Structure 1
Amino acid sequence: MSDEDNDSKFMRKVKENPFVPIGLAGCVAIVGYRLMKIKSRQDTKLSVHLIHMRVAAQGFVVGAMTIGVLYSMYKDYIVKPREKQKALAEK
């Protein structure tokens, strides 16, 4: 058995990758909004409306993942080397 319960494991994962829950929340928000607007779609076919909803939700998730990867690369390749240089300079 692990000494870490599900809540603390989830919070640790959120702190490591903050853009995953942002992407998930955005996807749910877009799908919810587009489902609410399904009655006011005028003369657009239902299938076209659903395709647009899927594309918008996927676009948001891919954008959030891209920003998360760029942020992670920034931390790993720019911030950490600066901290290492600073630590060596202080010695």
Structure 2
Amino acid sequence: MSADSPSWSSETQSQTSKLIEKSKESPFVPIGMTGFAAIVGLGLYKLRTRKDTKMSVHLIHTRVAAQACVVGAMTFGVLYSMYKEYVVKPKETNLSK
């Protein structure tokens, strides 16, 4: 199967459209993914200039920072969805009555 076949491109497009659709539903997922990638990239860049720090300590700090970014994005995402569900929706139902 070549890369130019229609099934491959339609499969990729459907996955891309699913990702875009999910991003619109919960915008903090791509923010968490981007933050994770940025922190890992920064950690790899700083790996060269770590001076006297042990490799294991540097990797642990990088891992903790990346996890904190993802957990923070998940927390804000849950808070945002709760805000939409419990604060915005009741106001809309009261306005429609």
Give your verdict on TM over 0.5.
Answer: yes
1:18-63 superposed Cα distances (whole Å, 9 cap, x missing partner): 1011000100000001101101111000000000000000001000
Aligned to 1:61: 70
Percent same amino acid among aligned pairs? 61
Aligned to 2:58: 49
Find the residue that maps to 1:34 and give its secondary structure: helix
Q: Kindly report structure 1 stretches of 4+ aligned residues shifted beyond 4 Å.
A: none
Residue 9 of structure 1: CA displacement?
Answer: 1.7
Matched, 1:28 2:53: no
What runs of 5+ residues in structure 1 fail to find an aligned partner? none
Within 2, Cα distance between the matches of 1:81 and 1:69?
18
Within 1, Cα distance between the matches of 2:74 and 2:85?
16
Within 1, Cα distance between the matches of 2:65 and 2:15?
31
Matched, 1:83 2:92: yes
Within 1, Cα distance between the matches of 2:14 and 2:49?
45
User: RMSD in angstroms over aligned alpha carbons?
Assistant: 1.2
Aligned to 2:80: 71
What runs of 5+ residues in structure 2 fail to find an aligned partner? 1-12
Within 2, Cα distance between the matches of 1:9 and 1:25?
18
Within 2, Cα distance between the matches of 1:7 and 1:42?
41
Within 2, Cα distance between the matches of 1:39 and 1:61?
25
Within 1, Cα distance between the matches of 2:49 and 2:15?
41
